[in-house]
Amino acid sequence: MLQKRLTPTGLASLEYCNRLFYLNMEKPHHGTQTVLTVLGKFEHSVIEQFYKLTKIDWKTQKEFENDYSLERRISLAVNDSVEIARKNFPTFFDQILENSESMKYRLRHLNQIKSQEMRKLLKKGMPFSTVLSLVMPFVTEKWLESKVLGLGGYADFLYWNTDGSITVEDIKSHNDRYDAFIHRSSHLAQGVTYAIMAEEVYGKPVKKFQIFYSKDCYTESFTITKKLKQELIDSIKQVPDILAGDMPDKLEGPENIKCKNCYSRDFCFSIDKPDSQEGSFYDQ
C-alpha cells in the first residue's frame, strides 16, 4: 500500500524516467526555482485570471463581438499576476516584467481563438449561454482525486463538451518545440491521470486531454482511450517495487538524450559524485 499520494506530475516523471520518479518521491523539493519555472507559474496565473474575467464579461454583455472590455481584462489579468509575482518571486521580478508585454500580446491572440470557437458553435444554432459554457472552462485549478488508485492533483482547466463528456486542459510554457516533443509521452501520462481522476469525481467520461502551449498559443489534443488508462494503471502497479528497491540507474543508450532536457539533471547527476563535487553539472 502506497503511503504517498501519486500525482499527475509524479506519474509524468515515471513515464519520462524511473530515476526521476524515484527522486521526486524520495527526495521531494530537491529542485531550485529557475526563471523558466517562475515564468511558467506567472503565465498560468495570467491565463487563469483572463479566462475568469472573460467569462464574466461575455456573460454580462451577452455578446463578444464588440469586446470593449478586452484591454481592461488583459491589464487586470497581467497586472494582478505581476503583483503576486512581486511578492512571491522578487528575485525574478525583472524577467516577469519583461515577459508581461509579451503576455499581453498573446492574450489578444487567445481572445481571438476563443471568439472563433464562439462563432463556430453559434452558427450551429446553440444559445449564447450554452456556447459560452462550452468555450470557457467550467472550473479552474480544480482539485481532482481517485480514491481507488490513490491519485490526487490540481487540473488547470476543465471543459464541458456537447455530448456531456469532459475535456481536461493543461498549460505548458515550454520555450521551444523540441522540449515539448521530448516530454510528449510524459505529458500524455499526466493527461491520462487527470482523465481518470475527473471521471471518478464527476462520473462523466473524459474523452480528450489537451495542452495549451502558452508561448505560441498552440493547442495539442490527445484522445483518451481505455488502452491508455490501462497502461497508466499498469505503471502505477510498478510503483511499490520501484520505491522499495535501490535508486534506478540513469538512462542509457538512445534514451539518455532525455537527460539533457530534464529539470532535475543537475541534482540527479550530482548524486554519484564525491561530496566535494555534489551539485556540480557533469556529463555521463
Q: Which residue has the higher pLDDT, 277 or 254?
A: 254
Nearest by Cα to 219 from 126, 139, 123, 117: 117
Q: Across residues 54-64, what is the average pLDDT?
A: 95
DSSP calls for 56-76: HHHHHHT-SSS-TTHHHHHHH
Q: What confidence score (pLDDT) does residue 279 get? A: 40
Average pLDDT, the chain: 92
Please report which confidence band the pLDDT of residue 3 belongs to, taking 50, 70 and 90 as the band edges.
low
Question: Looking at the whole model, is its pTM more than 0.85?
Answer: yes
Examine the pLDDT at 284 and tell me if it is beyond 90: no
One-letter amino acid for residue 19 of the chain:
R
pLDDT over 90 at 5, yes or no: no
Please list the residues that pair with 208 across neighbouring strands: 167, 223
What is the per-residue pLDDT for 218?
A: 94
For residue 210, list its beta bridge partners: 169, 221
Cβ-based neighbours of 114, under 8 Å, separated by 6 or more: 54, 135, 136
263 falls in which pLDDT band (50, 70, 90)?
confident
CA distance 193 to 229: 8
Q: How confident is the model at residue 4 (pLDDT cuts 50, 70, 90)?
A: confident
Q: Which of 217, 58, 79 is nearest to 135 (CA)?
A: 58
pLDDT digit string, tens, across residues 162-203: 999 999 999 999 878 899 999 999 999 999 999 999 999 999
Asked whether the predicted pLDDT for residue 273 surpasses 80, the reply is no
Confidence of residue 277 (pLDDT cuts 50, 70, 90): very low
Name the nearest CA neighbour of 215 among 99, 78, 70, 88. Answer: 99
Q: Is the pLDDT of residue 216 over 60?
A: yes
283 or 135, which is more confident: 135
Per DSSP, the three-state class of 52 is: helix
| Contacts of the segment 266-272: beta carbons below 8 A, 24+ positions apart | 267/23, 267/27, 267/30, 267/31, 268/19, 268/20, 268/23, 271/247
Residue 259 is which amino acid?
A: C
**Grid coordinates of 91:** 528575485
Mean per-residue pLDDT for 114-118? 97
Banded pLDDT at 282 (limits 50, 70, 90):
very low
For residue 128, name the pLDDT band (cuts at 50, 70, 90): very high
More confident: 153 or 276: 153
pLDDT tens-place string over residues 20-47 = 999 999 887 665 678 888 999 999 999 9
